[in-house]
Amino acid sequence: QVRLVMKAHSFVRENVPRVLSSVKDKSSTVPIPRISQYLYFLFAPTLIYRDNYPRNPMIRWGYVATKFAQVLGSLFYAYYIFVRLCIPLFHNSSQETFNLRGLVLCIFNSILPGVLILFLVFFAFLHCWLNAFAEMLRFADRMFYK
């Protein structure tokens, strides 16, 4: 929802000044964007609205399949991390009585799996997922990290 609010803000911020200036100049045509431009913007991996974006001439379906396979692999690896590193740790701690030492050990033993999951989420969503949708939409500007 935050992403959609940011996209709506960008859309309004880019179009309201153009509409107001054309009304102020009493122009006969008001530059209102088409619905197709707005829908493309909603699915494109960018937060800055433009009427036209640079586009690739064709879709590389092998690249899209590779990126979705990497997302799937990241999900399986995250499952493996939870099963091997997190679940046994918390299963054992739930059977013991509460003490501060056990809590601190549980937290410190969860740091490494938490960081690995964070890296997996970054890789799976911000790299693979956005690149796959950018390729399917033929979106040519792939500077997600800048």
Instruction: Please provide the distance, in angstroms rounded to a whole number, between the alpha carbons at the two ends of the chain.
Output: 22
What is the per-residue pLDDT for 135?
A: 93
Q: Which residues pair with 70 in a beta bridge?
A: none
Break the chain into its structural domains and give their ranges. Answer: 1-53, 55-145
What is the per-residue pLDDT for 84?
A: 92
Q: How far is CA 140 from the centre of its chain?
A: 17
What is the per-residue pLDDT for 94?
A: 67
Residue 92 has pLDDT above 80, yes or no: no
Q: What's the CA gap between 116 and 130, in Å, rounded? A: 20
Model confidence, pTM: 0.74
Q: What is the pLDDT of residues 10-39, one digit of tens each?
A: 999 998 888 888 878 777 777 788 889 999
Residue 95 has pLDDT above 70, yes or no: yes
Query: Would you place residue 81 in the very low, low, confident or very high pLDDT band (cuts 50, 70, 90)?
Result: very high
Task: Tell me if residue 139 falls in helix, strand or coil.
Answer: strand
